[in-house]
Amino acid sequence: MLVWLAAALGLFVLQTLVPNSLRYFGGDGPLGASLRAALGPRDATPRASVLADRAARALANLHEAMVVFVPLALVAHAQHADDAKLGAAIFVLARVAYVPAYLSGVPGVRSTAWVVSWVGLAMMIAALSWG
């Protein structure tokens, strides 16, 4: 279980970097101007691109999901609930797929990844409740 918890936390750290990276380096302007803005005092934040806004919303959604996943993973680890590992794996892999699905903007793909991640959480709850 600790492997999946570490993977989820690693995803959390990486995904935290994406919105501002896209804000400063994913715009239409020259890279030099973006670099000066990123390294400066940031008095005037560059306008966020569509991708940066999507990345910020995906990160906010991950915050909400981690509030459920982390306690479940810790309880599963403490109770040696090996049956919960499959649910944890499904959650993490679906959340990895969620980011590019959200950024791509393809209708239905983001929602499918979100539903699959919550199925993983439900599997963890079931394993802890009846396992």
- Residues near 43 by Cβ (< 8 Å), separated by ≥ 6? none
Please report whether residue 73 resides in a domain: yes
**Dihedral, CA of residue 75, residue 79, residue 82 and residue 84, to nearest 10:** -30
pLDDT reported for residue 14:
98
Determine phi and psi for 118, rounding to 5 degrees: -75, -25
How many structural domains are present in the chain? 1
Half-sphere exposure of 91 (CA within 13 A, CB side): 32
Residue type, 21: S
Please report whether residue 36 resides in a domain: no
pLDDT reported for residue 38:
72
Q: Could you list the pLDDT tens digit for every one of the 131 residues in the chain? A: 999 999 999 999 999 999 988 887 776 666 666 777 777 787 877 778 899 999 999 999 999 999 999 999 999 999 999 999 999 999 999 999 999 999 999 999 999 999 999 999 999 999 999 97
Please report whether residue 31 resides in a domain: no
CATH assignment at residue 103: 1.20.120.550
Please report whether residue 12 resides in a domain: yes
- Cα Rg for the chain, rounded, in angstroms? 18
Can you give the residue range of the structural domain that contains 85?
A: 2-20+49-130
